[in-house]
Amino acid sequence: MVSQAGYAQSAKNDCENNIEMLRKDLLSMLNKIPAMPPVAKVYSAAKDRLNDLTNMKNDGKYSECVSESERVLRITRPYGSR
């Protein structure tokens, strides 16, 4: 059985990893905007969500951060270089 502390640590790690993947997607998207202007709309929305996710992480809302970041990553993944 996973302890509460173990689950919280796992959620925190997942949150941090997902935020880092989103940052990488955003960097990749920035490089693609000149060639593909519609990417700018996705970039802008994802950048706003990155700020929200960082706030969730800082507030200790790791489970919420993980679920929301996974949703955002499904959208940004096609534009990223992963």
**Distances from the Cα of 23 to the Cα of 8, 29, 41, 46, 47, angstroms:** 23, 10, 16, 9, 8
Residue 62 lies in domain: 4-79
Place of tokens 């996973």: 2
pLDDT band at 81 (very low <50, low <70, confident <90, very high): confident
Number of domains in the chain: 1
- Across residues 52-72, what is the average pLDDT? 97
pLDDT at 9 over 80: yes
pLDDT at 1 over 60: no
**What DSSP element (H or E) covers 71?**
helix 62-76
